[in-house]
Amino acid sequence: MQQLVAELQRSPVGRVRLQEPLAPYTTWKIGGPADILIVPENREELAAALALLHRHGVPWHVLGRGSNTLVADKGVRGAVVKLGDGFDDVRFEGNTVTAGASYSFIKLSVVAGKEGLTGLEFAGGIPGTVGGAVYMNAGAHGSDVSRIFQSADIVWVDGSEATLTGEGMNFSYRHSVLHEKRGIVTRASFRLEPGDRKEIAAALASYKDRRRRTQPLQEPCAGSVFRNPPGDHAARLIEAAGLKGLRVGGAQVSPIHANFIVNLGGATAEDVLALMGRIQRTIEDRNGITLVPEVLLMGEL
C-alpha cells in the first residue's frame, strides 16, 4: 500500500488524501475514513488512477454526491474515487444534452427544461449525480434513464476507455452493465424532445412539491432504502406492517415516508443495517417478500 500511495502522490491522478473521513461526503452523514481518497479532475487523471490501482491489486469504490450510499463505521479499505469539479459541466446540441458524471441530476432536469427540452422531468426528484443515475438506471414517475439514454463515456477498471450506447449498457430495473463490469461513467448524453417551457416547469414544480410533502428532506437520509418489489411498493409494505417510526439507535424509519431511514443524530452504519434487517425480516414473515436494498453498501459492513 505504501508503494501505491507513493506512486499516486507523484502521478497525475488529481488530489490524493489519506484516512479521509467519508461521513461529510454522504447525505446520511455516516461513515468512517477511506484508506485513500482520490479526486481526479479529468478523464486522463481518472484513467491513470484506476490503472495504478489495478496494477497494485487494490480494491476501490466510487462515490458521487453520497446519496444512496451507506459507508461502514470502520471506513473503506483500499481506495475511494470521487470525481472532481472537472466532471461538473453540461452542454446542449440540438435536442441532445451531454453532462459530466458529477453534474447534479436534479439540476440537469431544470436546465434542460429552461432550454425547452422535455424528457428529463422525472429526474427532478432524484438526488445524486448523472454518473450515479446512469449506473443505477435511476427512475421515477414512470420513466428512467434508459428511455432517454444516448451514450456514455466510461473508464474501465484497468484504465481503458470506451463509449457505450443503450444496447451496450444492458439496462434493466435499477441495473446497468456497470453492475457486471467495473468502470466509472465520466460523461453521458441524453436524447430529449422539444417541449413547452411552462409545462415542463409546472411538472418539475409539481414533483418538487410532492417530494417536499412526502419525503423527510430536512433530515439526513439517503433516498429510498429498498427497491420496489414487482407489482408493489416497498413503502406501502413497510407502512402496512406498522414500521413507520421504528428506531434502532440514532436511525429511524421516517414517519413521513416508510422507505426512508433518517439519521436522528449520531446514527451509525450498524444502526442503519440493524434497522434494515428488522424491516426485511418483518416483511418476509408478513408478506413472503424479500426486500432488496437499493442503497449501495460500502466498506467493512
Q: Which residues contact 2 (CB under 8 A, 6 or more apart)?
A: none
Active site residues: 174, 224, 294
Nearest to 5 by CA among 22, 26, 19, 21: 19
Q: Which three cell numbers stand for residue 128?
A: 445524486
Residue 254 vs residues 221, 222, 247, 257: alpha-carbon distances, Å: 9, 12, 9, 5
Nearest to 189 by CA among 117, 125, 124, 85: 117
Rounded Cα gap, residues 273 and 275, in angstroms: 5
Total-model pTM: 0.92
Q: Tens-digit pLDDT profile for the chain (301 aa)?
A: 889 999 999 999 999 999 999 999 999 999 999 999 999 999 999 999 999 999 999 999 999 999 999 999 999 999 999 999 999 999 999 999 999 999 999 999 999 999 999 999 999 888 889 999 999 999 888 899 999 999 999 999 999 999 999 999 999 999 999 999 999 999 999 999 999 999 999 999 988 888 888 899 899 999 999 999 999 999 999 999 999 999 999 999 999 999 999 999 999 999 999 999 999 999 999 999 999 999 999 998 8
Domains and CATH numbers, the chain: 2-82 (3.30.43.10), 88-200 (3.30.465.10), 217-298 (3.90.78.10)
